[in-house]
Structure 1
């Protein structure tokens, strides 16, 4: 586990955990019930991994724990079986003789050490995190079933046979387990690819929508510029007639029209400018105040599709939540600033209702999981750049905060 994951505590904690693990294992060993020892082995491997180590996805730790148990169980069984095959002894003779068991134990440790490095390399390469919780649970049950079946069969043949039959069964189980893990990973990769394709389609639709919005604004601006000569002549005539108040009101109307089409937000990043101006117009339609405290930072390290995913989903969720509260509480705070070497993005808004969580996903209170899907897409986009996303609520405000470093992009 230490070679696969990052430690949470100091070395002393791990020594104490190992001693506790061994002490409990001895207690289970005294019971003489083999299946109980197997259950303890697989459960303790998973629990200790989750408690003592940290990983980006806990499924990796559970998957590694199951794989680790199968590795120990198979090596332990094979060490006894190989000895019975080469010595001509029966399994019962080996199990009842302390000296023979000691020799098997030495063989067991030698085999564990010989295969340790290849096993760790394989586990590092294997993508346990894309295997679902249900698939991991199935592998745990399968591992326990295989252990129970082998123990049961062993009780019938250990008096009359060497370990040839059991060795063949162990080899078959090992092949089956390896194939199932490979199959689950392939299925999970297929679903992951389908999800990415759907996400790309969603991003393309949003981009096309924004480009269409810009074209519409450009057409309106061109028409306004075309008419500006007429407007100036009218304004001059109003002034010449001495109607200063009416002239000021007419000038104000012209300026407001120009502001509407020119956009109220500007920054270096063209895509971010498009998105925020589009959301500002949506906020105007629903009487939502949006406060944009945005530093003009360089977002070139983020792909335009990911920019769309992050900011569109966050602001759309905030607009949806604000539209359900009273007008005086319709307010969104968007902050983008640099703190040390990190770019911080914060979207904070009022909300009315109960937040419903489904594991890691926020579920809309009006049913379905479309809000949760949006946040999942945001999290997926942020993690491409080794960023983190935090969500918190105080019963009145809901806030999503993102931290990303421009230096830590992960190329996919």
Structure 2
């Protein structure tokens, strides 16, 4: 009776592992870059068909057919449901081959670890179940690493939160499942097998649930950052158009008095006081100059940002020198332009504002060797404080997140940022390859 129940338990666990294995593959394709979005029921049907095909291949075809079905099934599902770019056929194939190779290498390694830490299984079935469950949890962690490595091009950017996500929970699950299987070997009843099955199913569901929760939290944080940037951009646009309206009203007053100004200049020339007439004309030119809105680039949003920040600098009596060459950066999203330029220029103005003597900000931007080069320099009063490799904000209860936001934004465009500073000057150099 117990033997029959144990065989049933083995089959149930194999089915659970099969569904979990399919979930990991679908999770990879959904978190990798996507171009296709179908109705949800299409993915549910594809998930069931894919899993069923793997079960059939495993039962009737063995290991070789299982590999073939896994590779071609992943390519078909990925190409028609997630991303139809041809290069992603290679990525999907590479991922499956990497996971299969990892599984082949992991099984003997697990057996060696069992022997090393004196983990004894009294029958082959329990050993196979334990190893299969452990391998799937390791696959989930490896998949998350694969996504980060190929999605961000830099595996060193993993946060502690992400480490907890793909290491701590799977490791706990592995320890929990192995411990359960070891103690169940001492004495086991049908009720124990039912509880064991429920526990294994629960730990798998928990991993899926927590993974989705972490993804949601991460996405919410990204959306909050984007929302703050949109608010910042909206405020700058509002201030920009409000400034235009004020200038328009003032210009109407000036135009109304133009006739009087011209008559005054004519009278000065009639009296042969050419010096005063020239000075009067220069003063008028300066007055008109105040109402002119400067155009630095062909990008509307970047113009708004620059006009807003330069006006802010002038109000703080900070000299702002802006030299823009070929700067057609229309391939960069408006929200990302705001993140890069608003953060950096705000930091530069804040640093220059506190400088004891010269208060200045220099912005140079041009195209060089197929890349856009941006240099921002400002005066400072002392060497910036740092914690590790991060800058510490001088504002009370405020984190210096501006540079971090810039770096994350530049990663999207494979850009690079370098920072140099002394006790008097702070320099930021950015290089963005042309798209």
Give the TM-score range, shorter chain. 0.5 to 0.7
Cross-structure match for 1:397: 425
Cross-structure match for 2:260: 230
Q: Give the Cα–Cα distance (whole angstroms) in 1 for the partners of residues 303 and 174 of structure 2.
A: 60
Q: Given the superposition, is the C-alpha separation of residues 342 and 93 from structure 1 closer, same or farther in structure 2, using an over 3 Å criterion?
A: same
Structure 1 residue ranges without an equivalent (≥5): 5-63, 81-90, 95-99, 408-412
Cross-structure match for 1:297: 327
- DSSP-derived class of the 1:392 partner: strand
Q: Deviations over 1:257-287 (max 9, x none)?
A: 1222224664433433343333333333333
Q: Given the superposition, is the C-alpha separation of residues 201 and 359 from structure 1 closer, same or farther in structure 2, using an over 3 Å criterion?
A: farther
Q: Give the Cα–Cα distance (whole angstroms) in 2 for the partners of residues 150 and 137 of structure 1.
A: 19
Q: Give the Cα–Cα distance (whole angstroms) in 1 for the partners of residues 145 and 316 of structure 2.
A: 52
Structure 2 residue ranges without an equivalent (≥5): 1-27, 30-94, 112-119
- DSSP-derived class of the 2:378 partner: strand
Q: Deviations over 1:90-120 (max 9, x none)?
A: x6434xxxxx69x968x969x96x9999997
Cross-structure match for 2:272: 242
Q: 1:180 aligns with which of 210, 228, 247?
A: 210
| 8 Å Cα contact 1:350-1:396 kept in structure 2 | yes
1:338 deviation in Å? Answer: 0.8
- Tell me how many residue pairs correspond in the alignment: 319
Q: Deviations over 1:361-397 (max 9, x none)?
A: 5432132336x34334434543443433333323332
1:133 deviation in Å? Answer: 2.0
Q: Give the Cα–Cα distance (whole angstroms) in 1 for the partners of residues 404 and 324 of structure 2.
A: 24
Q: 1:341 aligns with which of 362, 365, 370?
A: 370
Q: How does 1:6-405 map to 2 (within 5 A)?
A: 92-94=121-123, 133-134=160-161, 136-137=163-164, 140-150=167-177, 152-153=179-180, 156-161=183-188, 164=193, 169-263=199-293, 266-327=296-357, 329-357=358-386, 362-369=391-398, 372-405=400-433
1:295 deviation in Å? Answer: 0.1
Q: Give the Cα–Cα distance (whole angstroms) in 2 for the partners of residues 290 and 210 of structure 1.
A: 18
Q: Give the Cα–Cα distance (whole angstroms) in 2 for the partners of residues 157 and 288 of structure 1.
A: 75
Q: Give the Cα–Cα distance (whole angstroms) in 2 for the partners of residues 202 and 305 of structure 1.
A: 10
Q: Give the Cα–Cα distance (whole angstroms) in 2 for the partners of residues 275 and 252 of structure 1.
A: 29
TM-score, with structure 1 as normaliser: 0.63
- DSSP-derived class of the 1:262 partner: coil
Q: Give the Cα–Cα distance (whole angstroms) in 1 for the partners of residues 304 and 181 of structure 2.
A: 70
Q: Given the superposition, is the C-alpha separation of residues 264 and 179 from structure 1 closer, same or farther in structure 2, using an over 3 Å criterion?
A: closer
1:132 deviation in Å? Answer: 5.5
1:235 deviation in Å? Answer: 0.9
TM-score, with structure 2 as normaliser: 0.60
Q: Given the superposition, is the C-alpha separation of residues 237 and 256 from structure 1 closer, same or farther in structure 2, using an over 3 Å criterion?
A: same
Give the CA RMSD over aligned residues: 4.4
